[in-house]
Structure 1
Amino acid sequence: MDGNTNIAFKTTGCSWLSPVSDLVGVPLDQVNFIACQVFGLAAAFWFRLYLNPKHASIEIRHAVAALFGASIIMFCFGWYAVHIFILVLACYGIMLKASLHNVHRYTMIASVGYLTLCQVCRVFIFNYGILSTDFSGPLMIITQKITTLAFQMHDGMCRKKEDLMEDQRRLAVHSKPSLLEYLSYNINFLSVLVGPFSNYKDYVEFIEGQDAHHKLRRVKASSPQQNGWDRVPEPSPVRPVIKKLIVCVGSLLWFFIITKAFPITYNVDPHFISEASFFSRLAYAFISIQAARPKFYFAWTLADAVHNAAGFGISGVDNRGEVSWDLVSNVHIWQIETATSFKSFIDNWNIQTGLWLKSVCYDRAPYYRTPLTFVLSAIWHGLYPGYYFTFITAIPITFAARAVRRTFRHYFLSSRQLKFCYDVVTWAATQLTICYTVMPFLLLAVEPTMQYYRSMYFHVHIISILAMILLPSKPRGSKTESPARHSNNNVKED
């Protein structure tokens, strides 16, 4: 092995599972990741049954959650886990010492700055690829939590209620958390490896055993036909956990059977580009991107199941009168695969990151909200050029999609047949546009990205720019919208 390989191996932490890694032919860091998530799932059931708030104190629940989380990151990353502790403790110091009027700014600069520094090391020193489960992954999740809590403290302790949006009022934090609460929120075993991000107030309600009661009571208050939901016993998470584990198994099988047969890098194979027709290359891009998604479905759905197993994740009651366990869900697979607009895809992919971007950037930026949100997303993801190609490309596509929708959609609503045809066309356009947009995210480097875009004749860039120029950005007679208009969405498209 070369020097970079040796360094990368050392960062995988504990080597106890090396025989398993050798046996199944999966890198040790990924074996450790799966083992820790399986441990987290078992620990979550134990946490719910034996450390229930009725039997254990709040402090014990906080301490155990944080202790398990710290153990997991040390197992996975060895001494590189110190970066995670440095970031958490440094930002806790900022929270204690900084002015409440500026705590959100200082925290954002410190956390994103430290994350970026670690990602510089990740790219230029350790030479990690996108699939490596290195210590920067937990840092990304913790950055979301730290910054969101700082903004919510600023909302609750510095701003007037009438100046806040509805979600900001509900999630505002009115007192500084203790060190134990801060550690538990940031490094708890439920989310320390892969997330998803959750709001501090929701997490504290879960630890205190009040989350189910509060979520169901809110449904009762807003929907008279749901009377009595706040008086039922705490719902069991067994069924939603089993359903999500079935999705995980299916995603894993899809990955091993299908994904490896359609490697992303074949999109930029010189022989393939020179010999295959444009439509053949377009079809392969579509298939290879579809095949690449299940690994994300697996990781996010398993993380969601871990949260649910602990009793965390109730968002309310759905339209069928059943308890919904999607408070911290990071992906809606059906909505993604059937998305008929760029916005619909974004809103259902990496959902909690979208909510974080909305909370700390989109809702608060006075100008250029959509471009700034995409830029922050690119910085948060890392320093590979492919990330920036993806998110910068998404900016004109987002504006073009708005213009196309506003200009043409109403012509297809007069009959069911026309609406069906519109949905089919927009589904195909959305999926192909997504393929074009996210390809650099998977190729990472500049050269293969430009090679791919040249092979595609930059057609999505050209179409998007022409749509922005030729089509009206708003319908005639429309008024400028206030930010409150978008309070329940992610990165916006009307």
Structure 2
Amino acid sequence: MKDDIIYLVLLGLCIAFGQFYRKFRDPEQKKWVGTAVGLLIVFSTSGFHTLHMLFCYLVCGLITIYFNRKACHLVSFGFMFGYLFLFRSLTFLGFEAPPGHSNMIQMILTLKLVGLAFEVNAAATKSAEIGQAKKDEAGETVALSENEKALLKLDMLDVFHYSFNYVGVLTGPYYTFKTFRDTIYLPFSYNANCIEATVDKLKVIPLYAGLFLLISHIWPLNYATSSEFYEQRSFIYRLMYVWPTFFIFRMRIYTGIMLSECVCTMAGLGAYPKSCENKCGHGPSKDYSSLTSNPEGIEYDFETVRNIDVVNTEKCWTFREAMKYWNMCVQYWMAMYVYKRFPSKKYRTIATLAVSAIWHGVYAGYYFCICGAPFYLPIEDLYFKLFIKDATGTKRQVLNVICWISKFFAFSYMGIAFLLLTIDKIWFYYGSVYHFPYIMWLAMYLVGMVIAKDRKAKAKRAEKKQQQEATK
């Protein structure tokens, strides 16, 4: 609870500071003020452990700038994720455990520094291709953008400002060096309606926070590991307990992520013209250079730093679809720098989920939860194809509702492992419900495969019969 209060106070101060920060017009002044406030937040929450972040910045910055740019992204990835694992293992080595907020800072810093190395690698690759006179589809020579030129001229001070600017330094969301640089040098943040965008998000936060406090008081998580829970509660009660615990988790995440988004919107970070078709994490999909000279009177949005879509997460029918609306900026990072870059198409999904689990922490619960998704998705895909895909009308609606219930039950059952963290607590709860969901999902998959095989055989027989009748 103490950590939550500190977290909320710091986010509140960061949101308020955005109104002041946004008024700086001189890029150098803006960079230094943002970095100074960011370092103050890091030091106030981490104390002596701030040295971890500074060391990572120093090593990864040197790798990105001075190492061979064909491989700097891979070396940076290995170093930062290796150090993240070491950072979380300090207690096992007999050292003092870093504060909880330090872990969040280290997590975001890992994404930023590794992502920056990938951006530099992409810019260097494009530069080499231009040197070979590569042309685009229209037959015109491809040119480097201003951001790509800046990446090729990157220095340690640029990495320093990007790493420790106060916007997102505590809890994210992840944003690229390109987005950061545009906020500093382009006029969009001065012209976007940052206050309105922030207030729109703040309006719903009391609802999520209130529901979190209320439901967590009625159904506390630690009750699921008590002897009373196992001895005095029925099997159905124990099985259904995952629903309120995951609801509590969602409300907490919604509150934290939307407050983090408010820090961005109030500071003007991620503001781009709406006409550029901005995407979460990536930014504009269309060229915006012509809009920088006349930025007034343009409609802006903050889609670039939108990290969660609460409405679609709640109302979409399938597990697969819901995953797309959750922690979207981090998912963008995982998609761009792990999924699309992984050499084996067959194992890229498992590799991406494994990296996500490693990024979240060293506890077994993260692996039970995140790496459990690939085993549930084929079941959902199979039943969607068998029963829902071609259904219409009332039947489709009923099946969609059943799929929605199954989606949230799967999220909730896997999610409780994410919350319980340790093997003993996870096994205690899963044992208390006799691992029923896993057994049920295995049975569903086997039954679904039998149905699919039977339908395929019937279709072949019908096709053969038609061919025989046609030859008569």
TM bucket (normalised to shorter chain) is 0.7 to 0.9
Distance 1:84 1:383, change over 3 A: same
**Taking structure 1 as reference, are residues 101 and 41 closer, same or farther at Cα in structure 2, changes over 3 Å only?**
same
Cα distance, 1:170–1:355 mapped onto 2, change above 3 Å: farther
When the two structures are superposed, what TM-score results if normalisation uses the length of structure 2?
0.80
Q: Residues 388-408 of structure 1, C-alpha deviation per residue, up to 9 Å, x if partnerless?
A: 111222221123223332333
Pair 392,59 (structure 1): closer, same or farther in 2 beyond 3 Å: same
Distance 1:316 1:265, change over 3 A: farther
Residue-by-residue CA offset, 1:237-281 (whole Å, 9 max, x unaligned): 212211222222222222333222211122233332343333322
Deviations 1:57-88 (A, max 9, x none): 22222121111101111111111111111111
Task: Indicate yes or no: 2:404 matched with 1:431.
Answer: no
Q: In the alignment, is residue 63 of structure 1 matched against residue 32 of structure 2?
A: yes
Match of 1:45 among 16, 19, 22: 19
Equivalent residues of 2:90, 2:97 under 8 A apart:
no
Could you tell me how far apart the structure 2 residues matched to 1:140 and 1:163 are?
A: 38
1:3 is matched with none
Cross-structure match for 1:281: 238
Identify the match of residue 302 of structure 1 among 259, 272, 284. Answer: 259
RMSD: 3.0
TM-superposed deviation, 1:106: 0.5
Match of 1:144 in 2: 111
**2:374 counterpart of 1:390:** no
User: Residue in 1 aligned with 2:303?
Assistant: 326
Q: Report deviation, 1:313.
A: 2.9
Query: Displacement, 1:38?
Result: 1.9
Residue in 2 aligned with 1:290? 247
For 2:123, the equivalent position in structure 1 comes to: 156
The answer to whether the 8 A contact 2:356-2:370 is kept is: yes
CA distance in 1, matches of 2:163, 2:197: 25
1:264 pairs with 205, 221, 227, which one?
Answer: 221
1:247 aligns with 2:214: no
Q: 1:135 aligns with which of 102, 113, 116?
A: 102
Aligned length: 415
Aligned equivalents of 1:182 and 1:376: distance in 2? 24
2:35 is equivalent to residue 35 of structure 1: no
Alignment gaps of 5+ in structure 1: 1-25, 213-232, 477-494
Structure 1 residues 452 and 119: CA distance shift in structure 2, 3 A: same
- Percent identity of the aligned residues? 23
Match of 1:313 in 2: 270
Query: How far did residue 428 of structure 1 move?
Result: 0.5
**Matches of residues 70-149 of structure 1 in structure 2 within 5 Å?**
70-121=39-90, 133-149=100-116
How far does the alpha carbon of each residue in 1:368-421 deviate from its partner, in whole angstroms, 9 at most, with x for none? 011101111111111111111112222211232233323332232x32x22221
* Contact 1:251–1:297 (CA under 8 A) maintained in structure 2: yes
Mapped partners of 2:53, 2:4: distance in 1: 19
TM-score of the aligned structures, taking structure 1 as reference length: 0.77
CA distance in 2, matches of 1:42, 1:268: 40
Deviation at 1:324, TM superposition (A): 3.2
Q: Deviations over 1:35-54 (max 9, x none)?
A: 32222112111111x20xxx
Q: 1:377 to 1:339 in 2, by over 3 A?
A: same
1:471 Cα deviation (Å)? Answer: 4.9
How far apart, in 2, do the equivalents of 1:262 and 1:64 lie?
44
What code does the residue aligned with 1:373 have?
A: T
Deviations 1:406-447 (A, max 9, x none): 3332232x32x2222122111101010101111111001101
Unaligned runs of 5+ in 2: 137-143, 278-297, 454-472
Task: For 2:220 and 2:92, locate their aligned partners in 1 and report how far apart those are by CA, in whole Å.
Answer: 22
Contact 2:193/2:300 (8 A) holds in 1: no
Asked whether the equivalents of residues 194 and 303 of structure 1 are also in contact (C-alpha less than 8 Å), the reply is yes
CA distance in 2, matches of 1:126, 1:120: 9
Structure with the greater alpha carbon radius of gyration: 2
User: Who is 1:380 aligned against?
Assistant: 359
Q: Give the drift of 1:307.
A: 0.6
Alignment check: 8 A CA contact 1:264 1:289 kept? no
* 2:175/2:329 contact within 8 Å kept: yes
Encode CA deviations 1:288-345: one digit per residue, 9 max, x unaligned.
21023222212111110111011123355399x9743232122221222223211222
Provide the secondary structure at the position in 1 that maps to 2:89.
Answer: helix
Judged with a 3 Å threshold, the aligned counterparts in structure 2 of structure 1 residues 468 and 354 are, in CA distance, closer, same or farther, namely: farther
Larger deviation, residues 383-392 vs 299-308: 383-392
Query: Which residue is equivalent to 2:397?
Result: 420
CA drift at 1:468: 5.2
Shift of 1:133: 3.0
* One-letter amino acid of the counterpart of residue 32, structure 1: I
Residues 315, 346 of structure 1: CA spacing in aligned structure 2 closer, same or farther, 3 A cutoff?
Answer: farther
- Cα distance in structure 1, aligned partners of 2:317 and 2:208: 23
Relative to structure 1, the CA distance from residue 31 to residue 186 in structure 2 (aligned partners, 3 Å threshold; closer, same or farther) is same
Contact 1:339 1:430 in 2 (8 A): no
C-alpha separation in 1, matches of 2:399 and 2:84: 43
Match of 1:216 in 2: none
Amino acid at match of 1:61: K
In structure 2, distance between residues paired with 1:314 and 1:422? 40
What is the distance in 1 between the residues matched to 2:93 and 2:430? 25
